[in-house]
Amino acid sequence: PYTGGDIAFSAKPASAEDARHLNCPEKSALLAVNRLTWDHGQSVTAVEVLFAPGHQMRTRI
């Protein structure tokens, strides 16, 4: 359980390791999603998820 959190979206160049895992050229632009969650001020999770080139995130308003 958690009481709050933040999600940030950004572009990040693929490192050599990222490129191996995502099967893309090194320095390709990746979609990075960083999530922090906490429970009453105490950190619960800190996660970075990287998506290969061409990935799209869509929202509705």
Give pLDDT tens digits along the chain (61 positions).
Answer: 899 999 999 999 999 999 999 999 999 999 999 999 999 999 999 999 999 999 999 999 9
pTM higher than 0.75, yes or no?
A: yes
Kindly state whether residue 57 falls inside one of the protein's structural domains. no
Kindly state whether residue 59 falls inside one of the protein's structural domains. no
Predicted pLDDT of residue 12? 97
Name the domain count of the chain. 1
Phi/psi of residue 25, nearest 5 degrees? -65, 145
Predicted pLDDT of residue 1? 81
Kindly state whether residue 15 falls inside one of the protein's structural domains. yes
Residue 15, domain extent:
4-51
What does the angle CA 20 – CA 26 – CA 31 come to, to the nearest 5 degrees?
A: 85
Predicted pLDDT of residue 45? 97
